[in-house]
Amino acid sequence: MKGSRALLKMLEDRGAETMFGYPGGAVIPIYDEILDSSIDHVLVRHEQCAGHMADGYARASGKTGLCLVTSGPGATNVVTGVATAYADSVPMMVLTGQVASGLLGLGAFQEVDAFSLMMPVTKYNYRVLDLQQLPKAVDEGWRLARSGRPGPVHIDLPVDSMNSKIDEILLSFDHPLKPVATDLSGYPAALAAVCAARRPVILAGGGVIGADACGEMTALAEMLGAPVVNTLMGIGSIPWDHPLSMGPLGMHGRLSALSAVKQADLLIALGTKFSDRTYSPHTCVPEGCRIIHVDIDATEFGKHGCASIDLAGDVKQVLGLMLEDLAGITSPRREWAEQASMYKSACARCRTDIDTAPIAPQRVMAELNRAMDDDTIVTTDVGQNQMWAMHHLRIRKPRHFISSGSFGTMGFGLPSAIGAKVACPEKKVVTVTGDGGLLMVIQELATAVERRLPVVICLLNNGWLGMVRQWQKLFWDKRYSSTMLAGSNPDFVRLAESFGAKGVRVERPGEIGDAMRQAFDSDVPFLIDIWTDPEEDMLPMLPPNPSLSLVRGRCGYDA
């Protein structure tokens, strides 16, 4: 069997259904075979977006994302998408074309050392110099993407390998993977700490969703009466309206979450890496508070700087053990749960009915909540728009809030929404984005229109690179450098229409609801260009430098 056909057959046999990609000379043999493959190929308009679409597909479906690009600039363009997935532990297989093996190192047309480029941003990396290596690369790589801590794997495919022949018998490759290292030796101490705690708090990260452990986590919270705070990646791990859900913790977190953590005597951290945007000197636990950290990846332990009980293992497995062992020997801390409820009630008084123009982003989020149902998938771009969505959107289910967390990739919103819509065509999909991020990937409207994917684009258009402007405003004496977009922005509605999508401009609060209804009822991609107030800061905001004081009214917290 020809190498290009063998590649696709092995992917088909492992359940691959969709591939996002962009052709080029080094991958023509593969694209020729795609015509006869059961794998549905989605043609992107930029290779970076092939990565983001595969990422959104994986996050929304729980399956492994798959993308294919050509050699040279195709490979370098997709690196940003791969790095985004790697930073957020998203399972993907990334295929890159390569020049013929005999030309490697000679500066051939569209040659780049993709193997080395991908090394820092993948779980595992292969270069198939000999076609006999292909079965191992595909079989092992496909399973490695999901084993332990998920992440992207990369296979570099020289064109001569794809044009060579391989015996079909060799395709039935079954290489045993090395078992994922676990260490639950601290479990008895963790169990004792849980029983002794009077004010426990659960910190839920993306690993809870990745391990499909949301039910177990919620059950533990209810058993203990423990409020749950989450990271950006953990949104949806517990319904927003659950009495114990305190919302996100961190630089732009909710005061309810911060208040709960600051009173805790035990923090049970599940599937989180204590990133600087979540955990900092401003949000750290109080002195004397104990930490239990559960994560499949032991390299994440110790980043909080406190003594802790570390359990290296699957979050779902550990929570299952805890629920079984704690049954009958512990009871909810009702006073503590009532205190947490007061924190949440106080925070819920934030106004969203602001009836002014330019439009307040809080009002947009309130209208979006009214337009969505519980099955609507939300993706976001990065910046103020992302934080408004994190704060105000009412997400009740896992895999229904998709955002670039650790890598903070502008331009993530639209392509990840397209990937999510391909994965879940029966669900409504909306992306919350800003004018800066959308301009980076606006060409993918062509992909959405061609594929007849009616994604909704909720554009918070304030004419600035809003989050950078906010930093310049709050911490750099309003010295605005290279952050203004107003005056050079296109007419987004006419631009959307030129692709074959629909759009409407909204300049007054009373117009938002009708625009949302039009967008969600549309059978083609629909862009809502909402002109928002550039002076409305995303507050609260904890200063990035611990030495900076929390000025009353300036950052949204009292000093």
Reported as a pLDDT band with limits 50, 70 and 90, residue 548 is low
Average pLDDT over residues 478-485: 97
Q: What is the pLDDT of residues 223-239, one digit of tens each?
A: 999 999 999 999 999 99
Whether 7 and 119 share a structural domain: yes
pLDDT of amino acid 349 = 67
- Say whether 122 sits in a helix, a strand or coil: coil
| CA–CA distance, 247 with 461 (Å, rounded to integer) | 26
Contact 456, 93 (CB under 8 A): no
Residues 227 and 297 reside in one and the same domain: yes
* Confidence check: pLDDT of 318 > 50: yes
Answer yes or no: do 432 and 501 share one domain. Answer: yes
Task: Specify the 3-state DSSP secondary structure of 342.
Answer: helix
- At 124, is the secondary structure helix, strand, or coil? strand
Q: Mark whether 409 and 261 lie in a shared domain.
A: no
One domain, residues 462 and 489: yes
Q: What is the pLDDT of residue 177?
A: 87
Question: What does the DSSP 8-state code read for residue 39?
Answer: S
Q: Is residue 523 part of a domain?
A: yes
In the chain, the percentage of residues whose pLDDT exceeds 90 is: 91
pLDDT score, position 559: 32
Report whether pLDDT(553) > 50: no
pLDDT in tens, 515-530: 999 999 999 999 999 9
Alpha helices in 225-299 (DSSP H): 255-262
**pLDDT digit string, tens, across residues 120-152:** 999 999 999 999 999 999 999 999 999 999 999
Question: Collapsing DSSP states into helix, strand and coil, what is residue 509?
Answer: helix
Q: Do the domain assignments include residue 207?
A: yes
18's CB contacts (< 8 A; 6+ apart) are: 39, 40, 41, 42, 57, 66, 422, 423
**Residue 380: which CATH number?**
3.40.50.970
Q: What does the alpha-carbon distance between residue 327 and residue 14 come to, in Å, rounded to a whole number?
A: 40
> Backbone phi, then psi, for 243, in 5-degree steps?
-55, -25
Going by pLDDT thresholds of 50, 70 and 90, the confidence category of residue 545 is low
Whether residue 366 sits in one domain with residue 323: no
Q: Does any domain span residue 436?
A: yes
Q: What is the pLDDT of residue 175?
A: 77
Q: Which domain holds residue 102?
A: 3-171
Judge whether residue 547 has pLDDT over 70: no
Q: What is the CATH number of the domain that holds 201?
A: 3.40.50.1220
Is there a single domain that holds both residue 519 and residue 469?
yes
State pLDDT tens for residues 356-365.
899 999 999 9
| 528-551 mean pLDDT | 81
Q: Would 548 be classed as within a structural domain?
A: no
198 lies in the same domain as 162:
no
Last residue of a domain, one of 299, 317, 347: 347
Q: Is residue 191 part of a domain?
A: yes
Residue 89 has pLDDT above 50, yes or no: yes
Tell me the pLDDT tens digit for each residue of 231-264.
999 999 999 999 999 999 999 999 999 999 999 9
pLDDT of residue 354: 85
Does 462 score more than 80 pLDDT?
yes
Coil, strand or helix at 320: helix
Look-up of token digits 């959405």: 448
Is the residue at 354 inside a domain? no
Domain count within the chain: 3
Residue 550, pLDDT > 80, answer: no
Q: Check residue 46 and give its pLDDT.
A: 98
Task: Give the whole-number percent of the chain exceeding pLDDT 70.
Answer: 97
Q: Both 156 and 193 in a single domain?
A: no
Is residue 509 assigned to a domain? Answer: yes
Tell me the C-alpha distance between 112 and 114, whole Å. Answer: 6
Cβ contact 232:271 at 8 Å: no
Predicted local confidence at residue 493, as pLDDT = 98
Q: Which of 111, 137, 171 is the last residue of a domain?
A: 171
The answer on 381 and 336 residing in a single domain is no
Query: Is residue 552 scored above 50 in pLDDT?
Result: no
Residue finishing a domain among 347, 375, 404: 347
In this predicted structure, the answer to whether residue 319 has a pLDDT above a threshold of 80 is yes
Per-chain mean pLDDT for the chain: 95
Region 401-427: mean pLDDT is: 98
Q: Which two tokens stand for residue 223?
A: 């058993």
The pair of structure tokens assigned to 262 is 């600051």
CA pair distance 2, 135, nearest whole angstrom? 13
Higher pLDDT, 354 or 319: 319
Question: What's the rounded Cα separation, in Å, for the pair 498 and 494?
Answer: 6
540 falls within a domain: no
Distance CA(510)–CA(15), nearest Å, equals 47
Asked if 307 and 240 sit in the same domain, the reply is yes
User: What pLDDT, on a 0 to 100 scale, did the predictor assign at position 248?
Assistant: 96
Same domain, 91 and 10: yes
